[in-house]
Amino acid sequence: MFSILALATHILANVTEAVRQIRIAGDLMLGGVFPVHTKSQNPDEPCGEIAETRGVHRVEAMLYALDQINAQKDFLRGYKLGALILDSCSSPAYALNQSLEFVRDMIGSSEASDYVCSDGSDPYPKSPSKKKNVVAVVGASYSSVTVQVANLLRLFRIVQVSPASTNADLSDKNRFEYFARTVPSDDYQAMAMVEIAIRFKWTYVSLVYSADEYGELGADAFKKEARKKGICIAIEERIQNKKESFEESIDNLVKKMQPDKKVGARVVVLFVGTEYVPELLKHTAERMKLSAGYKKKKIIWLASESWDRNNEKYMIGQNKLAAQGALVLMLASQKVPSFDEYLLSLRPGTEKFERNKWLRELWRSKYKCDFDLPPESTENRCEDARQTSDNFHSDDKVQFVIDAVYAIAHALQAMKTAVCPDDVIESSWISRYSKKPDICHAMQNIDGEEFYQKYLLKVRFQGKLSCFSFLFLFSSFFYIVGKNFRFSPQGDGPASYTILTYKPKSLDKKRRVLDGYQSDGSDYVEIGHWSENNLTVDEEELWWTGIEQMPLSVCSLECRTGYRKQMIKDEQCCWACSKCEDYEYLVNETYCAACELGWLVFHNFFLEIFSLNNLGSNLTLFIYCLFFLTVKKVNRRFCLTDIAGGKEKKPLNSKNDVAEPSQTGTYSIR
C-alpha cells in the first residue's frame, strides 16, 4: 500500500500543469516575455519543447539582474523590484494572449472572488489592496513576437525594452512610441554583411529569408544596401517552415551556385529565424550529397545573428558538413562571469532554483530524470543532477537582458529622485525589507510617455567589469557587464557585431581568445568585428572547407587584357568577354575604340609610331640624344656643335673675337 501511495505521489508531482508564468513579489513590478519554449508543430498545442539558452538562460539573467539591483543598499532605496515573467512559446499569437496579464496587473484584478456584495449593493473589495502596475516590460526576443506585444502595450502606455529584437520597423516612433531595445536595428546588420561581401569581392550572392517580419525586413535592408555597393542578388528565396518549401529553395540555390563551374552565386545570405537553420542545413547536405572529405564546391553561408551557435541541432549528422566555413554575425557582447557562476550554482531544492518553475522542466529534459522519486526507485533523480562547466555556454544575449533590466532600474531611480524628493529613509539601518512608508503616488501610477521620454532614453551606464557578485553590496551604481551603454535617439542599442566562422576543432588546433576568456573548445572562431562602417578581419583564421584560395561568388570572371565586357541585359554583375580588334584599345571596361593614325596597341597600352613625314626630325632627335650621352662619358670638357644644320661659322682667331648668333649652337659639356 505504501509503495502504491508513493508511486501515485510521484506521478502527481511530475505530471503537473504546464508553467506559463512566474511571479516574484515586489513594490514595483517589471514584466518579462521570453521564448522559454519553442513553437509547437502540433496545432492543438501552443508550446513545443523547452529552450535552454534562448529561454531559461534569459529568464535567469533577468532574475539575476533584479537580485543585484535589490541588493544595492542605496540604489532605489526603499523599493524592491519584482517581476511577472511570461512564456511566449515563440509564437506571436500566444505571446499576445499571454501579455494580457500585464494589462490585468495594471488595472487590477477582475476576479469575482475578489469582491463581495452586502445587501445587494455594488461589490467592493474584501480588503483594500493597492494595485501594483507593471512599470515596464523586458522582452520579447523574436521580432514577430515583439511587434505583437508592442502593439498591445502601447495602448496602455507601458514601456517595453527588448534585449533581442532587431526588426528595423521597431525604430519607428510613430508606431512604437514606448519601445526601446538594447540591441541595434537590422539596418546596421545589413551594412555589416554587405561590407563583408565587398571585402571578399563577392559581387553575386543569393538571398534566403523567412516569411516573417524578421526575415522580410532584414532582406529588404540587405537588398537596399547591396544596390548601393554594386552587389547583385542572383536569386531570392522566401521560405516557410514546410518541407516542400525547403526542398525547392535548396534546389534553386544549388542551381545558381553552379557546382560544376568556377563562377556562380556560391555565397548565400541568410536572414531566417533560428528554427529554420537546421532544416536548411539538412536539406543542403542531402541535395549536395555531402560526406566527409568532400572537396567540391559548396555553399558558403553568410548568416545573420539569428544563427544560434549554441543550438545542438545545427550540428547533428550531416548538418555539420553543410555548415563548414559559414560566416556568422553575432551581436558584440561580453561574457558575465558572475552570472555564469550563479547559473552553474543552481541546485534543486534551493530558493533560487525553485522560484523559476521552468528549471524543473529543464532538468527533466536535460538530465533524463524525475523529481520526488520513492526511495526504492532506480530511476535517475533530478535532485542529484548537477551542472558542470564542461561544454557550458550561456546564451549570447545575457548581457542585453541585463542591460535592459538595468536601463529600467536607472530610469526608475532618476524618476524617483525627481518626483519623490521626500521619499527617503532617514535611518541607514532600515533595509528595503523593513517596514517602511508607502511609496509615493507618482511612482505607483507611472505615466509611460513621461517615463520613456524623460528618463529611459537618457539612461547612461558607466560600466565596470565585476568577477564577484558580492561587490555589488558596496557600490550604489555598480554595473556588472563592464560595457558603457546608452540608447540612440530612436531607442536602439549600440551597433557592434562580432564575426565568427564555423571551423570544426577537429580540423583546427589553434584557438583564439574570445573576450578575455580562453576558448572553450567551440567550433566557432572569431575572425573579426564590425562597428559603424569599420570592418576588421583576421584572414589567417579563415577556413574555406579545405581549399586554400579565397572562394569566388561572382557571375562572371574578369576579362583578360584586350577584351571588353559585353553586359548581359538586366544583369549588372554578369557579362561576356568580347575581344577588341587588333587596331582597337580599351577606353573602359565595356568599350573598345580604334587607334588614331600613327598609334599601335600593345598589351592594352598604345604607343605612337613614327610617321613618314616626321621621320627625319624624330631620327635626328634620337641620334642627338645618343651622341650627347656618348660624348659626355668620353670627356667631361668638350665642345659639341649641333649637327642639325645651319650656316658655316667663322673660326675665332683671338680672345676678343665674338661668335655671331647663328641657327647652330655650340655647347660646353662639363
Judged by DSSP in three states, 463 sits in: coil
**pLDDT for 481:** 60
Q: How far apart are CA 541 and CA 59, in angstroms?
A: 35
What is the distance between the alpha carbons of residues 504 and 469, in angstroms, rounded to a whole number?
Answer: 34
From the list 128, 209, 123, 110, the residue with the least C-alpha distance to 167 is 209
Residue 409 to residue 415: CA distance in whole angstroms: 10
How many Å apart are CA 411 and CA 460, to the nearest integer?
Answer: 9
What does R_g of the chain's alpha carbons equal in angstroms? 37
Ramachandran assignment for 453, one of left (phi > 0), alpha (psi -120 to 50 degrees), beta (any other):
alpha
Q: What was the pLDDT predicted at 92?
A: 95
Number of residues written out for the chain: 670
Give the pTM.
0.78
Please, how many CA atoms are within 13 Å of residue 476, restricted to the half-sphere of its CB?
6
388 Cβ contact list (under 8 Å, min separation 6): 344
Beta strands in 287-439 (DSSP E): 300-303, 327-331
> Tell me, what amino acid is at 531?
S
Report how many helices (DSSP H) and strands (DSSP E) the chain contains, helices first.
17, 28
Grid coordinates belonging to 16 = 503537473
Which string of DSSP letters, residue by residue, matches 281-308?
Answer: HHHHHHHHT--TT--S---EEEE-TTS-
**One fold for 20-111+129-183+337-371+397-462 and 186-332+494-541:** yes
Architecture of domain 20-111+129-183+337-371+397-462: 3-Layer(aba) Sandwich (3.40)
pLDDT of amino acid 337: 94
- The cell numbers describing 159, all together, are 514601456
> β-strand 134-138 against 179-181: which pairing, if any?
unpaired
Sequence spans of domains, the chain: 20-111+129-183+337-371+397-462, 186-332+494-541, 563-608, 615-647+657-669
d(CA 351, CA 266): 53
Report the C-alpha gap between 459 and 32 in whole angstroms: 20
How many other CB atoms are found less than 10 A from the CB of residue 96? 16
Alpha carbons 362 and 411: distance in angstroms, whole number: 34
Tell me if the bond preceding 414 is cis, omega within 30° of 0: no
CA dihedral 512, 314, 274, 97 (to 10 degrees): -120
Contact 409, 76 (CB under 8 A): yes
d(CA 144, CA 506): 37
pLDDT, position 307: 95
Q: Which residues contact 570 (CB under 8 A, 6 or more apart)?
A: none
- Using the structure block, give the residue that is written with the C-alpha cell 549588372: 572
Helix (H, G, I), strand (E, B) or coil at 246: helix
Question: Under DSSP, is residue 149 helix (H, G, I), strand (E, B) or coil?
Answer: helix
The amino acid at residue 201 is K
Supply the pLDDT for residue 134: 92
pLDDT of 474 reads 32
| CATH class of the domain whose range is 186-332+494-541 | alpha beta
Amino acid 222 reads F
pLDDT at 570: 77
Q: How far is CA 637 from CA 254, 642, 651, in A?
A: 78, 16, 19
Point out the residues of the chain with pLDDT beneath 70.
1-17, 105-132, 422-438, 462-482, 506-521, 545-548, 600-622, 624-670
C-alpha cell at position 651:
673660326
Which residues, 6+ apart, have CB-to-CB distance to 157 below 8 Å? 178, 447, 448, 449
